[in-house]
């Protein structure tokens, strides 16, 4: 069982990282032939960085749009970030290669808030799930996968919270297992079925991520509507395929008077 899980986790991580990297590469390589920032837009690159940061960190547009969706969505994502940071303690050996991250992971805010962030994360997800069920407009646009995705992450949360607050597992053993994977020296998983559910669902999430709407993770950085500088009059924007059209653009018969 431990070997199977080790394999699953490694495979899921590889699929997720490679999948995301390939998608990001595809986005980067697809040209954006026209300047289409939604205006008013920043006139400088620095301004664009601030605009994107506001979107990624604060969900600024969503805040403007709908306070409830923002509240639940932001609560979920911030909680998830804290929970993620807290989990790093299972894969970082303070003496090892990633040890330099240890001060971050051992921060009070990460370790104590991170524990309770699991709860706010699930509350956020429940809120989003409720919106999907009870707001007619959102229900209309929801496909089965939209519900399942929320359920998947919710169950990851539930199983995790169970281990944190109700039936504890041997986390020292857990860490040995994770470090074992990283050091190619496999150690057994701790006893208990909850951890199997938890890790299995996490692996599933990793596999799904690059072929699902979770592509909003790279997508948010690549939207020309948000990441372009608003300077079309000052600087000519032209992509390769459009340059080819430039060579024949004067040949139209009506231009010869």
Partner 1 sequence: MADYEVPELKEYAVVPLPEDDTMKGLKPFVAKPDFQEALGYPGKKDETKENTYLLVDGWHDKAIDKMGDLLNRYRGFRVFMDSCVKCGACTDKCHYFLGTKDAKNMPVARQDLLRSVYRRYFTFAGKFFPKLVGARDLTEDVVEEWYSYFHQCSECRRCSVFCPYGIDTAEVTMAAREILAHIGRGTKYSNEIIGKVFTIGNNLGLPEKALANVLEGLEEDVEYDIEVEVKFPLDKKGADILLVTPSADFFAEPHIDGLIGYAKVFHATNTSWTLSTMASEAANFGLFIGSYENMQRISMRIRQAAEDLGVKRIVYGECGHAWRVGYSFLNTLAGPFDFLDQNYPIPQHICEFTLDKLEKGELNIDKSRNDDMTLTFHDSCNVARASGMGDKPGGQFTIPRAVIKHVCNNYVDMEKDTIHDATFCCGGGGGLLTDDLMEIRVKGILPRATALKNVTEEYGVTHMAAICAICKSQFTKVLPYYGFTMDQIVSVHQLVSNAIILEGQVDPED
Residues that bind partner 1 (CB under 8 A): 23, 26-27, 30-36, 38-43, 47, 55, 59, 61-62, 64-66, 69, 73, 128, 131, 135-138, 140-146, 148, 211-213, 215-216, 219-220, 222-226, 230, 232-233, 235-238, 241-242, 245, 249-250, 252, 254-255, 257
Shortest Å, Cβ 29 to partner 1 = 9
Token representation of residue 239: 């992509």
* HEC letters along the chain: CHHHHHHHHHHHHHHHHHHHHHHHHHHHHCCCCCCCCCCCCCCCHHHHHHHHHHHHHHCHHHHHHCHHHHHHHHHHHHHHHHHHHHHHHHCCCCCCHHHHHHHHHCCHHHHHHHHHHHHHHHHHHHHHHHHHHHCHHHHHHCCHHHHHHHHHHHHHHHHHHHHHHHCCCCHHHHHHHHHHHHCCCCCCCCCCCHHHHHHHHHHHHHHHHHHCHHHHHHHHHHCHHHHCCCCCCCCCCCCHHHHHHHHHCCCCHHHHC
CB atoms near residue 10 (< 10 Å)? 14
Question: Residue 141 or residue 166: which is nearer to partner 1 going by CB?
Answer: 141
Q: How far is the CB of 113 from partner 1 (least distance, A)?
A: 24
Nearer to partner 1 by Cβ, of 1 and 141: the residue is: 141
**Residue 101 in contact with residue 132, Cβ under 8 Å?**
no
CB of 131 to partner 1, least distance (A): 7
Kindly state the smallest distance separating residue 57's Cβ from partner 1, in Å: 12
Q: Find the shortest distance in angstroms from Cβ 241 to partner 1.
A: 6
Cβ proximity to partner 1, 186 vs 217, nearer residue: 217
Nearer residue to partner 1 within complex by CB, 76 or 177: 76
CB of 207 to partner 1, least distance (A): 11
Q: Which C-beta is closer to partner 1: that of 35 or that of 87?
A: 35
């Amino acid at each position: 069982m431990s070997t199977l899980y080790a394999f699953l986790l490694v495979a899921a991580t590889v699929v997720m990282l490679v999948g995301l990297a390939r998608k990001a590469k595809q986005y980067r390589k697809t040209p954006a032939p026209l300047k289409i920032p939604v205006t008013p837009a920043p006139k400088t690159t620095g301004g664009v960085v601030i605009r994107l940061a506001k979107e990624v960190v604060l969900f600024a547009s969503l805040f403007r749009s709908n306070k409830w969706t923002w509240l639940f969505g932001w609560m979920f994502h911030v909680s998830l970030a804290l929970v993620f940071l807290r989990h790093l303690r299972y894969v970082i050996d303070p003496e090892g290669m990633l040890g330099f991250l240890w001060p971050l992971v051992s921060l009070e805010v990460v370790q104590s808030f991170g524990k309770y962030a699991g709860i706010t994360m699930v509350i956020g997800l429940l809120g989003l799930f409720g919106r999907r069920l009870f707001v007619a407009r959102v229900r209309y646009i929801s496909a089965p996968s939209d519900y399942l995705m929320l359920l998947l992450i919710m169950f990851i949360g539930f199983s995790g919270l169970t281990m944190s607050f109700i039936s504890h597992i041997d986390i020292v053993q857990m860490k040995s297992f994770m470090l074992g994977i990283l050091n190619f020296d496999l150690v057994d998983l701790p006893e208990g079925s909850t951890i199997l559910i938890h890790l299995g669902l996490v692996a599933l999430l990793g596999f799904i991520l690059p072929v699902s709407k979770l592509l909003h993770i790279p997508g948010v950085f690549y939207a020309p509507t948000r990441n372009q500088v608003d300077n079309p009059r000052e600087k000519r924007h032209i992509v390769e395929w459009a340059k080819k059209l430039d060579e024949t653009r004067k040949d139209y018969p009506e231009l010869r008077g």
